[in-house]
């Protein structure tokens, strides 16, 4: 028996993306990254919506033609319903609804953060259930217990900034363009992670907080630049490495805690920050020390993409879980 053919659209933030999944196999993954935000130190919502509007037709057309799928072949159309930026989500949801209406096929609204976790089921090896997923992106930082593709529970999350935001804001303070996470990672590679001591904020339970460390960096740079205008440039690698180490220590501490409390040693990581070299090293080290089985998605599935939306839509289709045609974008979609 063959499974459904589904077109999936992702437009929650600053990537316009489309993918086709057929019978549980993702056929492609087209992403148009919006470079327009680079000079603004962050995503500008109005510019993001406009870029989605420009990109959506060519991106979907490319996904369909590369997969050799005609619109009549589709069994359903999926879109990122939330969380995300309202204007960005509206472009993807409106497009998906028009496809659903014109073809008289079901519509499937997908939760962006759940889809990041489901990116682990695009390519083998798949994690075994139950597993813990640390999802680290520009908008979210969550520890999730995953019991099946459709059963997940948030164990802990950030109460303020996401860890990706902590990377990007640090990069901005240090004079780098957006998104600065990969640049901090790059400079940190040749720096001393123990040269400077940044605060590791302790939150109760399994939660995180990353806003204090960003403020600490701001004061650190301001104080040290008073007598030495070149302080940041002369110590960039060490500052990046030390700051990054503090973020990684905070992430790892709670991950180790929930893993040992729940007795779960299948550990997955998802989201853009999982591309970070030093985080990957710390995870590999912990996996070695604690006997974890560690799952890291391929780089193209770490950052925002539609393949993960397509895979999640596949499971929702199989479960008969469809959205009403009136389903609108949910910028703060509950987990
Ligand atoms: O998952 P994602 O693509 O988009 C969101 O849903 O937010 O994550 C983007 C975030 C950005 O904050 C970016 O700076 C960060 O992931 N990022 C990194 C690295 N690559 C991407 N942060 C640290 N090191 C990296 N190598
Ligand atoms: Zn994301």
CA of 167 to the centre of ligand 1 (A): 8
**Nearest 10 degrees: CA dihedral of 308, 303, 133, 329?**
-60
CA of 79 to the centre of ligand 1 (A): 21
Domain 125-296 CATH (choose: 3.30.1360.70, 3.40.1170.10, 3.30.420.40, 3.40.50.300): 3.30.420.40
Most informative mutation of 137, 139, 279, 297 for ligand 1 (most atoms within 8 A of CB): 137
Binning pLDDT at 50, 70 and 90, where does residue 191 land?
Answer: very high
Domain boundaries, the chain: 5-118+302-318, 125-296
Beta-carbon contacts of residue 63 (< 8 Å; ≥ 6 apart): 7, 18, 19, 20, 28, 30, 306
Q: Name all residues whose Cβ lies below 6 A of ligand 1.
A: 13, 137-139, 164, 167-168, 179, 181-182, 185, 271-273, 275-276, 303-304
Cα angle for residues 6, 120, 323 (degrees, 5° grid):
35
CA of 191 to the centre of ligand 1 (A): 20
- Other CB atoms within 10 Å distance of the CB of residue 177: 15
Residue nearest (by alpha carbon) to ligand 1 atom 13? 181
Predicted local distance difference test score (pLDDT) of residue 34:
81
Binning pLDDT at 50, 70 and 90, where does residue 201 land?
Answer: very high
Residue nearest (by alpha carbon) to ligand 1 atom 10? 138
- For 147, the enclosing helix (H) or strand (E) is strand 141-148
Bridge-partner residues for 16, per DSSP? 32
Predicted local distance difference test score (pLDDT) of residue 38:
80
Across 194-318, where does the E strand assignment appear?
266-270, 293-295
Same fold, 5-118+302-318 and 125-296: yes
Question: Span 245-258, mean pLDDT?
Answer: 98
**C-alpha distances in angstroms, 53 versus 14, 69, 230?**
12, 22, 43
Q: Which atom of ligand 1 is nearest to the CA of 163?
A: 12
48 versus 284: the higher-pLDDT residue is: 284
286 versus 140: the higher-pLDDT residue is: 286
Question: Span 173-198, mean pLDDT?
Answer: 96
Q: Return the residue matching tokens 């997955």.
A: 268
Residue nearest (by alpha carbon) to ligand 1 atom 24? 276
Quick check: 136 pLDDT over 60?
yes
Q: Which atom of ligand 1 is nearest to the CA of 179?
A: 14
Predicted local distance difference test score (pLDDT) of residue 32:
87
Give the percent of the chain with pLDDT over 90: 90
Q: What global pTM score does this model have?
A: 0.95
Tens digits of per-residue pLDDT, 64-122?
999 999 999 999 999 999 999 999 999 999 999 999 999 999 999 999 999 999 999 99
Ligand nearest to the CA of 140: 1
Closest CA to 136 of 204, 210, 72, 193: 210
Tens digits of per-residue pLDDT, 143-161?
999 999 999 999 999 999 9
Q: Are 190 and 240 in contact (CB under 8 A)?
A: no
Secondary structure letter of residue 38 according to DSSP: G
Question: Span 43-53, mean pLDDT?
Answer: 88
Q: Are 207 and 142 in contact (CB under 8 A)?
A: no
In CATH, the architecture of 5-118+302-318 is 2-Layer Sandwich (3.30)
The Cα 148–Cα 53 span in angstroms is: 35
Phi, psi (degrees; rounded to nearest 5) at 144: -125, 135
Tens digits of per-residue pLDDT, 15-40?
899 999 999 999 999 988 888 788 77
Predicted local distance difference test score (pLDDT) of residue 51:
87
The Cα 223–Cα 227 span in angstroms is: 8
Quick check: 1 pLDDT over 80?
no
CA of 45 to the centre of ligand 1 (A): 17
Closest CA to 143 of 42, 244, 260: 260
Which SS3 state, helix, strand or coil, does residue 156 take?
strand
The Cα 92–Cα 52 span in angstroms is: 8
11 versus 1: the higher-pLDDT residue is: 11
Q: Give the tokens for residue 225.
A: 């630049």
Predicted local distance difference test score (pLDDT) of residue 173:
96
Ligand nearest to the CA of 43: 1
Which SS3 state, helix, strand or coil, does residue 54 take?
helix
Predicted local distance difference test score (pLDDT) of residue 35:
82
CA of 23 to the centre of ligand 1 (A): 30
Q: Which atom of ligand 1 is nearest to the CA of 178?
A: 14
309: alpha, beta or left, given left = phi > 0 and alpha = psi -120 to 50? alpha
Binning pLDDT at 50, 70 and 90, where does residue 242 land?
Answer: very high
Tens digits of per-residue pLDDT, 282-334?
999 999 999 999 999 898 999 999 999 999 999 999 999 999 999 999 999 99
């Amino acid at each position: 028996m063959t499974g459904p053919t589904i077109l999936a659209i992702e437009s929650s933030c600053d990537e316009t993306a489309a993918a086709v999944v057929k019978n549980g196999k993702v056929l492609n993954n087209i992403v148009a990254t919006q470079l327009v935000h680079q000079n603004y130190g962050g995503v500008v919502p109005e510019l993001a919506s406009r870029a989605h509007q420009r990109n959506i037709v060519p991106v979907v057309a490319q996904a369909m033609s590369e997969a050799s799928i005609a619109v009549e072949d589709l069994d359903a159309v999926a879109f990122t319903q939330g969380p995300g930026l309202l204007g960005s989500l509206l472009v993807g949801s409106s497009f998906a609804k028009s496809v659903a209406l014109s073809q008289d096929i079901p519509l499937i609204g997908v939760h962006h953060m759940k889809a990041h976790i489901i990116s682990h089921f695009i390519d083998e090896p798949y994690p075994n259930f139950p597993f813990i997923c640390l999802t680290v992106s520009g908008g979210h930082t969550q520890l999730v217990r995953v019991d099946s593709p459709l059963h997940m529970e948030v164990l802990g999350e950030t109460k303020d900034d996401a860890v990706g935001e902590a990377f990007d804001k640090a990069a901005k303070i240090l004079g780098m363009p957006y998104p600065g996470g990969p640049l901090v990672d790059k400079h940190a590679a040749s720096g001393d992670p123990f040269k400077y001591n940044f605060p590791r904020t302790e939150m109760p339970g399994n939660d995180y907080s990353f806003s204090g460390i960003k403020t600490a960096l701001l004061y650190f740079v301001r104080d040290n630049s008073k007598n030495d205008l070149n302080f940041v440039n002369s110590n960039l690698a060490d500052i990046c490495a030390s700051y990054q180490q503090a973020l990684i220590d905070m992430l790892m501490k709670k991950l180790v805690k929930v893993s040992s409390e729940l007795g779960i040693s299948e550990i997955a990581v998802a989201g853009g920050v999982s591309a970070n070299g030093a985080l990957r090293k710390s995870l590999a080290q912990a996996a070695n020390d604690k006997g974890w089985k560690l799952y890291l998605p391929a780089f193209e599935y770490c950052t925002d993409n539609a393949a993960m939306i397509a895979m999640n839509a596949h499971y929702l289709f199989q479960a008969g879980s469809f959205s009403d045609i009136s389903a609108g974008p949910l910028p703060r979609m509950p987990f």
